[in-house]
């Protein structure tokens, strides 16, 4: 399942008017602020409606349930990160990775509760949130592969090397937002350096995928 695919719970009903779509987008924007640093279980629908200054029924009207509302919020907020990671194609390899990692860390830092939900797989065992997480992983793997190798359809070994690095980024970022002993700049540089190590390992095991110049030890 791709990041762009939503279930019926997270997808808006066909309302047919720009006004209703704008209202839904407004509710999502409000929800992004409410859930940025607050866990799913910590807010009831009554709390959400009160803090959003709307009737609870309005949220049910657009999202059918608290879970549907939360999934829509998660999907919308992650879309910003995905769009950033998939863009910047005209930038140099190293600059593109730096900007992607900067955006990733900044997003995690400012959306800590949502980030924990995504990386842990959701509310309980939530296949839809896991699909969102998988979409983030694949988008970053594709961004790095495109920048390093000029294509995204890479061999299984190269993909697994990049995928393993992305998973390590998730674990390190979780620890960092819980114990922010490093600055965001330090964290970004550390993650970029570890990517260089992963690329050198990929090259050693499969010379068809040479590490780009910025990842080489002698550069």
Q: Is the dihedral of CA 214, 99, 114, 16 positive or negative?
A: negative
> In angstroms, what CA-CA distances link 69 with 27, 43, 135, 151, 208?
9, 12, 19, 36, 46
pTM for the full predicted model: 0.77
pLDDT at 88: 56
Rounded to whole angstroms, how far apart are CA atoms 122 and 130?
Answer: 7
Q: Give tens-digit pLDDT for 35-80.
A: 877 778 888 899 889 888 888 999 999 999 888 898 888 888 778 7
- Let me know if 59 is exposed, middle or buried by CB neighbors in 10 A (0-12, 13-18, 19+): buried
Confidence of residue 219 (pLDDT cuts 50, 70, 90): very low
């Amino acid at each position: 399942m791709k990041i762009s695919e939503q279930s019926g719970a997270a997808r808006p009903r066909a309302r047919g008017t720009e006004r209703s779509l704008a209202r839904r987008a407004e509710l999502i924007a409000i929800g992004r602020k409410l859930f940025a640093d607050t866990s799913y279980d910590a807010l009831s629908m009554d709390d959400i409606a009160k803090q959003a200054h709307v009737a609870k029924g309005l949220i049910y009207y657009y999202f059918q349930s608290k879970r549907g509302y939360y999934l829509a919020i998660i999907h919308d907020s992650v879309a910003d990160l995905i769009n950033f990671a998939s863009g910047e194609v005209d930038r140099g390899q190293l600059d593109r990775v730096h900007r992607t990692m900067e955006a990733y860390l900044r997003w995690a830092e400012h959306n800590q509760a949502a980030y924990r939900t995504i990386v842990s797989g959701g509310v309980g065992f939530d296949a839809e949130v896991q699909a969102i997480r998988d979409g983030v992983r694949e988008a970053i793997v594709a961004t790095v592969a495109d920048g390093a190798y000029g294509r995204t359809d890479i061999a299984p070994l190269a993909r697994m090397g990049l995928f393993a690095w992305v998973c390590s980024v998730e674990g390190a970022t979780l620890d960092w937002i819980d114990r922010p002993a490093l600055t965001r700049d330090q964290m970004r540089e550390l993650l970029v350096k570890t990517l260089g190590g992963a690329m050198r390992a990929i090259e050693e095991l499969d010379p068809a995928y040479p590490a780009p110049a910025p990842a080489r030890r002698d550069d």
